[in-house]
């Protein structure tokens, strides 16, 4: 346990030692920097003034963080926040932790969108990170984020307020037989829905399985495209010709999802690989 008189240099060494018991070297470096910045002592300060003693309260907070880390609780949940596309996003166990791949999705949407969309819909919005990043990129757009979790929508709403970005947060279940609470036509629909098959649980890390909401992650092996089918049905109604759907997908089903949207009346579909060279995104144009 870290002692009350610890210096910034002591704290960095302590965090590195404790984190190395669980994480690889690259992750340790990144997490140490995140924790130090969270405590108000970013890396430049720690290196310039290594003998500074931040005090008893900071040391107690570090000891609590380290104790949490040893339960394998994700650092984003421990700190209660993460960064997404230059936005500070509050995060807790009511929503998935935003992944770098999802940042890639937003980057592709922005770079490929030639005309600013007037109306944007984010399905399965979770923490609201996609909807907020797109609102930040297209400030004149009317953006709606939809989710079937009241708790996730509460989190998304707080993120909108935190970042001073106006988004409509709507409760709705894509898999319900009831009409969706979405009015009017949209120029752009985006979704990162649940897509991990139950059989793939064995391949996942404990910190994901034990802490992140399973309802936002998993689908039944018998119908792994269930959310994409629902999105295809909905977008047939709310997207005019020339509009676009962007999707994050399971790497195993790129061709199947593309075929699904082509068979649903979309004129053109494109599959894109993520930074790990896995088929991760689909663009479908109406």
Q: At a CB cut-off of 8 Å and minimum separation 6, what does 251 contact?
A: 278, 279, 280
In a domain, 80, yes or no: no
Degrees (nearest 5) of the Cα angle 147, 118, 166? 50
219-233 pLDDT per residue, tens: 999 999 999 999 999
108-129 pLDDT per residue, tens: 999 999 899 999 999 999 999 9
The per-residue pLDDT for 25 is 84
In a domain, 81, yes or no: no
Question: Are residues 252 and 129 part of one domain?
Answer: yes
Whether the pLDDT of residue 46 is over 80: the answer is no
Q: Which of 22-31, 71-80, 233-242, 252-261 has the lowest mean pLDDT?
A: 22-31
Degrees (nearest 5) of the Cα angle 175, 189, 114? 170
Question: Are residues 98 and 64 part of one domain?
Answer: no
Split into its structural domains, the chain has a count of 2
In a domain, 79, yes or no: no
Question: Are residues 173 and 221 part of one domain?
Answer: yes
What CATH number does the domain containing 231 carry?
3.40.50.150
Question: Are residues 274 and 141 part of one domain?
Answer: yes
Question: Are residues 155 and 20 part of one domain?
Answer: no
The H or E element that residue 109 is part of is helix 100-112
Whether the pLDDT of residue 253 is over 90: the answer is yes
CA distance 240 to 263: 16
The domain of 45 spans: 8-70
Question: Are residues 177 and 104 part of one domain?
Answer: yes
pTM: 0.91
**Of 186, 149, 184, which Cα lies nearest the Cα of 169?**
149
Question: Are residues 101 and 55 part of one domain?
Answer: no
Look at residues 17, 37, 70 and tell me which one is the last residue of a structural domain: 70
């Amino acid at each position: 346990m870290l002692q009350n008189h610890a210096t910034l240099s002591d704290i960095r060494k302590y965090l590195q030692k404790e984190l190395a018991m669980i994480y690889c070297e690259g992750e340790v470096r990144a997490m140490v920097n995140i924790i130090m910045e969270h405590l108000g002592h970013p890396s430049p300060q720690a290196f310039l003034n290594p003998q500074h003693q931040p005090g008893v309260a900071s040391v107690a907070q570090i000891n609590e963080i380290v104790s949490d880390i040893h339960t394998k609780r994700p650092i984003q949940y421990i700190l209660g926040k993460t960064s997404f596309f230059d936005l500070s996003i509050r995060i807790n166990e009511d929503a998935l932790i935003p992944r770098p791949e999802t940042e890639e999705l937003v980057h592709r949407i922005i770079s490929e969108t030639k005309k600013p969309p007037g109306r944007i819909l984010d399905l399965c919005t979770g923490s609201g990170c996609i909807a907020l990043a797109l609102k930040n990129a297209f400030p004149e757009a009317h953006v709606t984020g939809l989710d079937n979790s009241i708790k996730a929508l509460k989190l998304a709403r707080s993120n909108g307020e935190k970042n001073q970005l106006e988004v409509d947060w709507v409760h709705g279940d894509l898999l319900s037989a009831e009409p969706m609470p979405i009015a009017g036509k949209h120029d752009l629909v985006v979704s990162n829905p649940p897509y991990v098959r139950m059989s793939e649980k064995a391949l996942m890390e404990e910190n994901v399985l034990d802490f992140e909401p399973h309802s936002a992650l998993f689908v039944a092996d018998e119908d792994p495209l269930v959310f994409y089918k629902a999105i295809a049905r909905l977008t047939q109604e709310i997207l005019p010709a020339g509009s676009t759907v962007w999707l994050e997908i399971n790497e195993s089903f790129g061709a199947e999802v593309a075929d699904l949207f082509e068979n649903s009346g979309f004129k053109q579909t494109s599959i894109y690989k993520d930074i790990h060279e896995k088929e991760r995104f689909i663009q479908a144009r109406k």
